[in-house]
């Protein structure tokens, strides 16, 4: 069960995963050792799934985002496994969500430029048969959260 200090610790770590324990402890009015134990518990209980580093997409040469809406012709277990393997094998596809409604999946693809979408498209359709794909180029990121809300759970 999370208390207010746990939630604040999680929020601080989401904002800066390299924040020193002493600074976190000061922010939540705990000793460094007590704060360190809480962080260890939060990891052990699975609230902190992993620690990563966020790279600058422009500096990495991937400033373009394309969202692709996919409709499938099959929902068989074998096809689903093949689809998961196909999207998993293409590193430019950074997110895949299964949807309700008129479409089956949405893919988030990061690219060096719009023209490179054709390369990813050919890789995907070469691995799996799809009924319909529609691509949408992101013109601007209006909001990109750096973490999850911490007031649940």
Domain presence at residue 28? yes
Tokens of 39: 């962080």
| pLDDT given for residue 74 in this prediction | 84
Whole-structure pTM value: 0.88
Domain presence at residue 90? yes
| pLDDT given for residue 32 in this prediction | 98
Structural domain of 98: 64-137
11 and 74 within one domain: no
| pLDDT given for residue 75 in this prediction | 83
Domain presence at residue 146? no
- Count the domains in the chain: 2
23 and 72 within one domain: no
Domain presence at residue 85? yes
Contacts 24+ apart (CB under 8 A), 42-45: 42/6, 42/9, 42/10
Exposed, middle or buried by CB within 10 Å (0-12, 13-18, 19+), for 35?
A: buried
130 and 83 within one domain: yes
**Which residues of the chain fall below pLDDT 70?**
none
| pLDDT given for residue 73 in this prediction | 86
| pLDDT given for residue 83 in this prediction | 96
30 and 94 within one domain: no
- Domain with residue 95: its CATH number is 3.30.70.920
What span, in angstroms and rounded, lies between the C-alpha atoms of 125 and 100?
A: 22
| pLDDT given for residue 136 in this prediction | 98
What span, in angstroms and rounded, lies between the C-alpha atoms of 34 and 25?
A: 8
77 and 32 within one domain: no
């Amino acid at each position: 069960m999370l208390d207010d200090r746990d939630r604040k610790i999680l929020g601080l770590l989401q904002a800066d995963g390299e924040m020193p324990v002493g600074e976190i402890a000061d922010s939540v009015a705990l000793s460094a050792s007590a704060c360190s134990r809480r962080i260890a518990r939060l990891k052990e209980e699975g609230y902190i799934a992993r620690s990563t580093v966020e790279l600058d997409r422009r500096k990495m040469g991937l400033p373009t985002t394309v969202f692709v809406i996919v409709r499938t012709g099959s929902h068989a277990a074998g096809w689903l496994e093949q689809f998961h393997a196909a999207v998993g094998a293409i590193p430019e596809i950074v997110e895949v969500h299964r949807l309700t409604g008129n479409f089956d999946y949405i893919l988030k693809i990061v690219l060096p430029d719009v023209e490179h979408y054709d390369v990813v498209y050919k890789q995907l359709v070469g691995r799996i048969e799809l009924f319909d794909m529609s691509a949408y180029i992101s013109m601007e990121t209006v909001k990109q959260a750096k973490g999850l809300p911490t007031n649940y759970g």
